[in-house]
Chain A
Amino acid sequence: MPDQQSSVVAAGSPAATTAGGADGAGTPSRGSGVRTRGRGGARGDRASLGSALLWLGPALLLIAGVVVYPAIELVRASMSKFSITGLRLGDAGWTNYTNVLDHPLLPTVLVNTIVWVVAVVALTIVISLGVAQFLTKDFRGRKLVRWAIIVPWAASLVITAKTFVMIYDFYYGTANLLLSKFGLGPVDFLGSDTWIMPSMILVGVFVSIPFTAYVFVAGLGAIPRDVYEAARVDGASPFQVWWRITLPLLRPALLVAAVLNIIYVFNSFPIIYTLNDRNPGFSHDTTITFMYKLAFKSAEKDVGMSAAAGVFNVLLILVVVMVYLRFTRWREETA
Chain B
Amino acid sequence: MSTVTETGTGSTSRGNSSVAPQGGSRRSGWQRHRSWVLPVAGAALALVFLAPYIVMLLNSLRPSSDVVQTPPTFFPREWQLSTYSQILTDERFLNWLKTSVIVAGSSTLIVILVSIPAAYYTARFRFPGRMAFLLLVLVTQMFSPTALVVGIYREWFNFNMVNTYAALILTNAAFNLAFAVWILHGFFASIPKEVEEAANLDGCSRFGTLRRVMLPLTMPGIVTAVIFTFIAAWNEYVVALTLMLDESKKPLTVGITSYVTGYEQHWDQLFAAAIVAIVPVVVLFAVIEKHLVGGLTAGSVK
A334 to chain B, nearest CB (A): 16
> In whole angstroms, what is the CA distance A171 to B267 when docked?
14
User: Are A13 and B182 in contact, with the CB atoms below 8 A?
Assistant: yes
- Residue on A with the closest CB to B154? A73
B14 to chain A, nearest CB (A): 6
- Residue on A with the closest CB to B113? A58
> In whole angstroms, what is the CA distance A209 to B48 when docked?
12
Given contacts A44-B123, A158-B257, contact A18 B53 (CB under 8 A): no
Q: Which residues from chain B contact A324 at a C-beta distance below 8 Å?
A: 142
Q: Tell whether B50 is near chain A: CB-to-CB under 8 Å.
A: yes
Q: Tell whether B298 is near chain A: CB-to-CB under 8 Å.
A: yes
User: Are B42 and A141 in contact, with the CB atoms below 8 A?
Assistant: yes
Q: Which of A9, A26, A160 has the most CB of B within 10 A?
A: A9
B187 to chain A, nearest CB (A): 8
Give the size of the chain A interface in residues (CB under 8 angstroms): 146
> In whole angstroms, what is the CA distance A160 to B135 when docked?
33
Q: Which residues from chain A contact B285 at a C-beta distance below 8 Å?
A: 150, 153-154
Q: Tell whether B286 is near chain A: CB-to-CB under 8 Å.
A: yes
> In whole angstroms, what is the CA distance A206 to B260 when docked?
24
Q: Which of A32-75 contact B (CB under 8 A)?
A: 32-34, 37, 40-41, 43-49, 51-52, 55-56, 58-60, 62-63, 65-67, 69-75
| A62 contact from B45, B114, B179, B236, Cβ within 8 A | B114
| A55 contact from B72, B120, B235, B254, Cβ within 8 A | B120
Q: Which residues from chain B contact A232 at a C-beta distance below 8 Å?
A: 9, 13, 21-22
A258 to chain B, nearest CB (A): 14
Give the size of the chain B interface in residues (CB under 8 angstroms): 141
User: Are B124 and A20 in contact, with the CB atoms below 8 A?
Assistant: no
Q: Which residues from chain A contact B130 at a C-beta distance below 8 Å?
A: 33, 37, 52
Q: Which of A17, A158, A292 has the most CB of B within 10 A?
A: A158
User: Are B10 and A6 in contact, with the CB atoms below 8 A?
Assistant: no
Chain B interface, >50% SS class: helix
Q: Which of A101-109, A191-199, A214-222 contacts B (4 or more CB under 8 A)?
A: A214-222
Q: Which residues from chain B contact A94 at a C-beta distance below 8 Å?
A: none
Q: Tell whether B201 is near chain A: CB-to-CB under 8 Å.
A: no
Q: Tell whether A146 is near chain B: CB-to-CB under 8 Å.
A: yes
Interface flags for A202-217 (1: CB within 8 Å of B; 0: not) read 0000100110001101
User: Are B292 and A62 in contact, with the CB atoms below 8 A?
Assistant: no
> In whole angstroms, what is the CA distance A160 to B13 when docked?
36
B146 to chain A, nearest CB (A): 5
A136 to chain B, nearest CB (A): 5
- Residue on A with the closest CB to B42? A145
> In whole angstroms, what is the CA distance A177 to B136 when docked?
49
- Residue on A with the closest CB to B19? A238
B258 to chain A, nearest CB (A): 11
Q: Which of A1-35 contact B (CB under 8 A)?
A: 3-10, 12-20, 22-34
Of all A-B residue pairs in the complex, the 7 with the closest CB atoms, nearest first, are A74-B151, A28-B189, A13-B179, A27-B299, A222-B300, A148-B46, A70-B151
Can you report 22 residue pairs joining A to B where beta carbons are below 8 Å apart? A14-B141, A15-B183, A15-B295, A46-B126, A55-B118, A55-B121, A60-B133, A74-B150, A136-B11, A136-B14, A138-B11, A141-B42, A155-B53, A156-B237, A156-B281, A163-B53, A166-B55, A174-B74, A177-B71, A206-B49, A218-B297, A238-B13
